[in-house]
Chain A
Amino acid sequence: MTDASTLEPLSFSLNGRPVTVDVDPRETLFDTLRERLRQTGTKGACLEGECGSCTVLLDGEPVTSCLVMALQVAGREVVTIEGIAESSQLSALQAAFVRAGAVQCGYCTPGLIVSATALLKKNPRPSEDEVRRGLAGNLCRCTGYNKIVDAVLDASREGEELSETGTAGARA
């Protein structure tokens, strides 16, 4: 990207693993992830904070990585779509996206899954309205959003069932 001389080392946690990479102080986290670390699951449809397709978690908070400077994440925890699946298993939310037909072209999907993961973490039983407000920063051009809302609600209900079984099991 630029002369090696102008690069600065950056260390942070990426999907639970420590990484150190030389970056241009002017580059965004989005570029670092995709261009330097070749983690291409994070997408970019606008690069100006409008579409949400580049969403990643920074210390657990969803951020649009195209607006975050790489050096801002020094020492912090970044989780991308590549870090959402639990080992080779899909997360409950990912599985719900598959089941619901919430994916057409799939370009918006990584950003939506990351945003919705953060949403469910904060609010495990969201109403439809809360789901919509929580995902208002993520554009999708294909689906009309119906099935995306369904998938998130479905995953939240599943979380409920799981925790209920968990409690019941503990009681027994």
Chain B
Amino acid sequence: MSGAQQHNIGRSVVRPDVRDKVTGATRFGGDLCGPEVLSASVVRAAHAHAKVIRVDFSKAKAIDGVIAVLGRDDIKGTNRHGLIKRDHPVFCDERVRYRGDAIAVVIATTPEAAKLGRDAVEVEYEALPVIATMADAQADGAERIHEFGNVLATQLIRKGDAAKALGESDVVVTRTFAMGGVDHAFLDLEAGYAEMDGDVVTIHASGQWVHEERRLIALALGLPVERVRIVQPPTGGAFGGREDISIQIYLGLAALTLGKPVRMQYTREESMVARHKRHPMEIEYTLGATRDGTLTAAKVIIRSDEGAYASTGPAVLRKAVSHCTGPYRVPHVEADGVALFTNNCPTGAMRGFGACQLAIAYEGAVLAVARELGMDVVELKKKNLVRDGDSITTGQVIPVASAIDCLDAALDRFHWNARRKDHPAPHLRRGYGVSTICFGLGYGDGYPDASRARVRFAEDNVLEVYSGGVDVGQGLHSLLAQIAGEEFGIDASRVRVIASDTALTPESGSSSATRQTLFSGNAVKLAAGEVHRQVMDAAAVMLGLHWEDLAIKGDRIVGIHHENVATPLAFVLSGARARGFTLDSTAVYKPRTVAPTDQSGRSPRAFLTYMFGSHAAEVIVDIETGEVRVERIVAAHDVGKAINPREVEGQIEGGVAQGLGMALMEEVVTRQGRILNASFTDYIIPTILDVPRIEAVIVERADLEGPHGARGVGEPPLIGAVPAILAAISDAIGHPVEQTPATAERVWKIIHQDNAEHLT
């Protein structure tokens, strides 16, 4: 670095992890190995719902190469895990509740022997009625999946008098929406490695919150947390899909019980069958407005398919309810949500959870009101979108409400007013759609949400950041280096990041809820700021000046008023250390949010802050086949401040592509609790031919809480994409599109439902 001051913030620095990723040198969980490593394979349930009568390991144990078969009797701690309710058995005891339920884990000298052993474990079942749908779960006399019944949670919002206001509205629309389950489909399958290091079980596996995973693993293994260490390897995507425990307890149990290194890896099929999914939801949405297009009231009924276990379900339902009217001012709201257990794959966290399903519903309802009023939807939106200082449905006042800024930015870039109205061919219809969404960042709702970070100058004078926050591919660690370096004018590339290792790093919360930029970014900034003060304090002592008269400039500490004072920073750091000064600080960022009241479900600060976004999409629909091509998407998001603009664009582009998948093609198809498309042959995610050029527009209205005004960006791009695409299809075919995914078959059916009178 030359003497010039480096600025990290707002600069598209190259992430340090990328070089090894382009050469193949990066070692993901499945790349880890060691001498004499054993292999593990999990025995899964053969029924979606059944009593377990008898389990017999003897045939499996007799197989050549099989070392051990471990089941519930080998669990020394709690035979349960789960993020909110601990209801998910590590190994099933008396009952299996979905086809991914685990019975045992087989450990063998080779992966092949482990699989043979797995297939040789004998389980006798007594089948129970399968609760395949939410209707089944609610039916009179339905079999109870859990002792307390089939209702996991309910949530509500009561604001004003929705029934009365709807009665007095000039127009009222009621629409029903349905969203299918979605798989995260990260490419890096669940895979990892565990070994004993003295009496510490060390597990190398990818999750999203190493410290919480350690707690759950330690509980299951019956060990104090100090005897479990999680080291997160480079991780090939997560998107919420690594929030629940997957392979970690099996690996830890095997290493602990056998005292030998063990590895395991799911197949794509096992990954899809065992791992939680995005919640399928059914939403009945009634929205009222006055003749001039002012929204009056909303009544929203949400049913959420929870699958067999709770996972993050209660939080997902709450997020759905609290985001039920999105970025709109709606004076009267009555929302009721219920999460129902079924014998389907459990559903849990996935990018934009709860908020993305509701965005489909409120944007669909707003479109229906516009149609009913014969009003341009952009005009209707602008009339009702929250502005700075307005409150949204939870009651929270939004100081920086940039929905309209984002909408304008998206429409501008799109050249919305100049959009072509012609159709490319008689059977090819062009259509346009626009969405506006909002999203509360962090866990919110009074949940204790915090990030901690340690910053120090190491003995070699390199600035170090210690964070428990995991990088799942989004570039968190590079971002933390930018923020820490900025405090000293040190280029991000020269900052060393030590991360996501429970033995070395402080607890920094999960990489989820679009929270790491905001939470860990702030924690790092606080700690780095304190280390900066420590350095200046030492420099002042060494130079005989007041610290306020000194500044760091490039590699040197200089006098602000004394031009002749200039000392290398490295000299000050060494001198400080020799004098016994501390150059090391740990900071906690732990802001307060407020839990909703039971009666109203409202809260003055449900979330720390909100972010807004708006997408404009163009599609072409083949009305003979129902096939949809997305031609163009512009996605504008107010990220507050783009700390690394290129990476922010990358998050927006990736989120839009996943939204496109959810809108058009991705659906976990389940019959009687069995997933019918548990492979990449049958579960289709967007290819490079499906995704058009995505135009990311970065809006920057500084956040009041975020580091350097930054909010984050992870989830909202997916949330905005789906309703924009659905609205564009609807524009092209002249019918509402209210079910995801809008597959060719479904679109064709919608077009032909009434002889396509709109198309002539």
Chain A residues with Cβ below 8 Å from B616 are none
Q: Are A138 and B688 in contact (CB under 8 A)?
A: yes
B658 interface contact, C-beta 8 A: yes
Interface residues on B, range: 35 or more
A132 interface contact, C-beta 8 A: yes
**Cα separation A45 to B268 with both chains bound (whole Å):** 7
Chain B residues with Cβ below 8 Å from A132 are 688-689
Q: Are B680 and A50 in contact (CB under 8 A)?
A: yes
**Cα separation A149 to B688 with both chains bound (whole Å):** 9
Chain A residues with Cβ below 8 Å from B24 are 39-42, 80-82, 84, 110
A106 interface contact, C-beta 8 A: yes
**Cα separation A41 to B26 with both chains bound (whole Å):** 7
Chain A residues with Cβ below 8 Å from B28 are 43, 107
Q: Are B693 and A146 in contact (CB under 8 A)?
A: yes
Chain A residues with Cβ below 8 Å from B23 are 41, 81-82, 84-85, 90, 94
Nearest A residue to B635 via CB reads A144
Nearest B residue to A85 via CB reads B23
Out of A1, A51, A81, A94, which one reaches B112, CB within 8 Å? A1
**Cα separation A39 to B654 with both chains bound (whole Å):** 29
B650 interface contact, C-beta 8 A: yes
Q: Are A147 and B187 in contact (CB under 8 A)?
A: no
Chain A residues with Cβ below 8 Å from B653 are 143-147
Q: Which of A122-153 contact B (CB under 8 A)?
A: 132-133, 135-149
Q: Are B650 and A101 in contact (CB under 8 A)?
A: yes
Nearest A residue to B646 via CB reads A101
**Cα separation A50 to B187 with both chains bound (whole Å):** 11
Task: Give the interface SS of chain A, mostly helix, strand, loop or mixed.
Answer: loop
A45-B680, A105-B235 given; A53·B187 CB < 8 A? yes
Out of A43, A94, A148, which one reaches B688, CB within 8 Å? A148
Nearest B residue to A104 via CB reads B473
B263 to chain A, nearest CB (A): 11
Q: Are B654 and A144 in contact (CB under 8 A)?
A: yes
Chain A residues with Cβ below 8 Å from B268 are 45-48
Q: Are B22 and A101 in contact (CB under 8 A)?
A: no
Chain B residues with Cβ below 8 Å from A78 are none
B706 to chain A, nearest CB (A): 22
**Cα separation A44 to B236 with both chains bound (whole Å):** 11
A139-B680, A144-B691 given; A103·B21 CB < 8 A? yes
Nearest B residue to A42 via CB reads B24
Q: Are B12 and A101 in contact (CB under 8 A)?
A: yes
A109 interface contact, C-beta 8 A: yes
Chain A residues with Cβ below 8 Å from B646 are 101, 147
**Cα separation A141 to B235 with both chains bound (whole Å):** 13
Nearest A residue to B238 via CB reads A105
A98 interface contact, C-beta 8 A: yes
**Cα separation A46 to B654 with both chains bound (whole Å):** 20
A164 to chain B, nearest CB (A): 25
Out of B12, B236, B647, B688, which one reaches A105, CB within 8 Å? B236
A110 to chain B, nearest CB (A): 5
Q: Are A107 and B188 in contact (CB under 8 A)?
A: yes
In the complex, per-residue mask of A65-78: 1 if CB is within 8 Å of any chain B CB, else 0: 00000000000000
Q: Are B187 and A90 in contact (CB under 8 A)?
A: no
Once A and B bind, how many residue pairs between them come within 8 Å at the CB atom? 165
A146 to chain B, nearest CB (A): 5
B33 interface contact, C-beta 8 A: yes
Q: Are B27 and A142 in contact (CB under 8 A)?
A: no
Chain B residues with Cβ below 8 Å from A141 are 184-187, 237, 239, 654, 658, 685
**Cα separation A46 to B267 with both chains bound (whole Å):** 7
Out of A43, A84, A136, which one reaches B187, CB within 8 Å? A43
Out of A43, A104, A139, which one reaches B474, CB within 8 Å? A104
Q: Are A51 and B19 in contact (CB under 8 A)?
A: no
A41-B25, A132-B688 given; A104·B185 CB < 8 A? no
Nearest B residue to A95 via CB reads B22
Chain B residues with Cβ below 8 Å from A104 are 237, 473-475, 650, 654
Q: Are B657 and A144 in contact (CB under 8 A)?
A: yes
A46-B268, A81-B24, A94-B22 given; A142·B237 CB < 8 A? yes
B243 to chain A, nearest CB (A): 16
Chain A residues with Cβ below 8 Å from B657 are 143-145
Out of B18, B33, B652, which one reaches A103, CB within 8 Å? B18
Chain A residues with Cβ below 8 Å from B654 are 104, 141-144
Number of interface residues of A (CB under 8 A): 54
Q: Are B679 and A48 in contact (CB under 8 A)?
A: yes
Q: Are A45 and B187 in contact (CB under 8 A)?
A: yes
Chain A residues with Cβ below 8 Å from B111 are 1
A124 to chain B, nearest CB (A): 19
> Of residues A34, A42, A50, A135, which shows the largest number of chain B Cβ atoms within 10 Å of its Cβ?
A50
Chain A residues with Cβ below 8 Å from B235 are 105
Nearest B residue to A101 via CB reads B646
Q: Are B188 and A105 in contact (CB under 8 A)?
A: yes
In the complex, per-residue mask of B265-281: 1 if CB is within 8 Å of any chain A CB, else 0: 00110000000000000
In the complex, per-residue mask of A25-63: 1 if CB is within 8 Å of any chain B CB, else 0: 000000000100011111111111011010000000000
Nearest B residue to A82 via CB reads B24
Q: Are A97 and B693 in contact (CB under 8 A)?
A: no
Q: Are A107 and B187 in contact (CB under 8 A)?
A: yes
Chain A residues with Cβ below 8 Å from B18 are 97-98, 103, 106
Chain A residues with Cβ below 8 Å from B549 are none
Chain A residues with Cβ below 8 Å from B491 are none
A43-B28, A106-B234 given; A51·B680 CB < 8 A? yes
B472 interface contact, C-beta 8 A: yes
**Cα separation A107 to B27 with both chains bound (whole Å):** 10
Q: Are A105 and B22 in contact (CB under 8 A)?
A: no
B338 interface contact, C-beta 8 A: no
B228 to chain A, nearest CB (A): 25
In the complex, per-residue mask of B157-200: 1 if CB is within 8 Å of any chain A CB, else 0: 00000000000000000000000000011111100000000000
Nearest B residue to A109 via CB reads B21
Nearest A residue to B648 via CB reads A101
B232 to chain A, nearest CB (A): 13
Chain B residues with Cβ below 8 Å from A23 are none
B14 interface contact, C-beta 8 A: yes
Nearest B residue to A99 via CB reads B14
Q: Are B688 and A106 in contact (CB under 8 A)?
A: no
A45-B268, A94-B22, A108-B187 given; A135·B680 CB < 8 A? no
**Cα separation A43 to B186 with both chains bound (whole Å):** 13
Nearest B residue to A150 via CB reads B693
Chain A residues with Cβ below 8 Å from B188 are 43, 45, 105, 107
A44 to chain B, nearest CB (A): 8
**Cα separation A149 to B692 with both chains bound (whole Å):** 11
Q: Are B236 and A107 in contact (CB under 8 A)?
A: yes
B681 interface contact, C-beta 8 A: yes
Chain A residues with Cβ below 8 Å from B685 are 139, 141
Q: Which of A1-38 contact B (CB under 8 A)?
A: 1-2, 34, 38
A41-B25, A98-B22, A101-B647 given; A106·B691 CB < 8 A? no
**Cα separation A82 to B24 with both chains bound (whole Å):** 6
> Of residues A45, A48, A80, A90, which shows the largest number of chain B Cβ atoms within 10 Å of its Cβ?
A45
A115 to chain B, nearest CB (A): 10
A169 to chain B, nearest CB (A): 28
**Cα separation A132 to B688 with both chains bound (whole Å):** 6
List 11 A–B pairs whose Cβ atoms lie within 8 Å, in order of A's numbering. Answer: A45-B187, A45-B188, A45-B189, A50-B680, A97-B18, A101-B649, A136-B689, A141-B237, A141-B239, A141-B654, A145-B653
Residues of B within 8 A of A (CB): 12, 14-15, 17-19, 21-28, 30-31, 33, 110-112, 184-189, 234-237, 239, 267-268, 472-475, 646-647, 649-650, 652-658, 679-681, 685, 687-689, 691, 693-694
Residues of A within 8 A of B (CB): 1-2, 34, 38-48, 50-51, 53, 80-82, 84-85, 90, 94, 97-99, 101, 103-110, 113, 132-133, 135-149
Using A45-B189, A48-B268, A50-B681 as known contacts, list a sample of 5 further A-B pairs with CB atoms less than 8 Å apart, ordered by residue number in A.
Answer: A85-B23, A90-B19, A107-B236, A144-B654, A147-B650
A-B pairs with lowest CB-CB distance, top 3 = A41-B24, A105-B473, A106-B21
